[in-house]
Amino acid sequence: MINWTHAVITGAGSGLGLGITLRLLRRGTNVSVLDVHLPDKAREQLEDAAKQGDNRWQFFEADVTAPAGLCSAVEQAVAAFGSPGIALNSAGIVLNRAFPDLSTEEFHRVVEVNLNGSFHFAKAVLPHMKPGSRLALVASLAGLTSNYGYAAYGASKFGVVGLATTLRFEYQPLGIGVSCICPAEVRTPMVEKEKLDGNRISMELRKVAGSLDVDTACDEILAGLDRGKWQIIPGIRGKLTAFANRVFPRLFYRICSLVLVRVLRRQSLALQKSG
């Protein structure tokens, strides 16, 4: 377990970002929380975790799609707590929509937040990071395999994986570690909201990689960061899915295609019965 002095985390108002922030606070790390909004419940959780770890946290309203404001927030965070030992970008959005129903504006918005936001975050924090520190970008298993209905989300997360890969080449020789986090489905508020109107075919295909609760995912992610891992995929089924896609791509696509055909057949029969 690494006791980082200062962590800078975006998207820490909920989900994975909040879960990892709470764990770092409890172990004694000062944390700078960056988000567009911090709910009262999250503030209470952060205060309690900080008391347990006998340390401090601070909040800066920041949007990863606004680079000037993001850089300003990071500069203020560094001025208060010093150079970050770990910087984690967890801010992101999801859009689950089949390509014919996807608007140009929606596609650009997802890429702007997930991919460009990761770039803006890296640009903001890396000038302040020293040898021995670590940059972590949250991508997704969808950044390795994608999914039906993920034209925007999958493209943006593939981009995050590519960005992290390049940063690894450029910064690890300088002593700054880089991690790319690629979870399968984690039952965060964002994912639960997605399920309300997400594409049914996509929802069915996602079952291949399984689902994790937030606590389990955060524990595995933080353990991976402690070990200095490059690619962190929490959950056994997520790891197996990524392995199958990488080593047996044709077989993996064949299995997904069979699931796709089954769902389409089920939908066709349902339409026939209703008609």
CATH label, 6-248, candidates 3.40.50.720, 3.10.20.30, 3.20.20.70, 3.90.1150.10: 3.40.50.720
- Kindly tell me if the per-residue pLDDT of 187 is higher than 80: yes
Question: In the prediction, which pLDDT does 56 show?
Answer: 96
Residue 112 near residue 121, CB atoms below 8 Å: no
- Rounded Cα–Cα distance for residues 162 and 166 (Å): 6
- Kindly tell me if the per-residue pLDDT of 21 is higher than 70: yes
- Kindly tell me if the per-residue pLDDT of 155 is higher than 80: yes
Query: Token pair of 72, please?
Result: 């300003």
CA atoms within 13 A on the CB side of 267: 10
What is the overall mean pLDDT for the chain?
A: 93
Residue 52 near residue 77, CB atoms below 8 Å: no
Tokens 């925007």 locate to: 152
Domain coordinates of the chain in residue numbers? Answer: 6-248
- Kindly tell me if the per-residue pLDDT of 221 is higher than 60: yes
**pLDDT tens sequence across 26-58:** 999 999 999 999 999 999 999 999 999 999 999
Question: In the prediction, which pLDDT does 262 show?
Answer: 81
Closest CA to 90 of 143, 29, 16, 153: 16
Residue 13 near residue 37, CB atoms below 8 Å: yes
Bigger pLDDT: 258 vs 18: 18
Which of the four pLDDT bands, split at 50, 70 and 90, describes residue 70?
Answer: very high
Strand partners, 86: 7, 134
Q: What is the DSSP string of 109-140?
A: HHHIIIIIHHHHHHHHHGGG--TT-EEEEE--
153 is catalytic: yes
Which of the four pLDDT bands, split at 50, 70 and 90, describes residue 273?
Answer: low
Active-site residue (options: 148, 153, 171, 253): 153
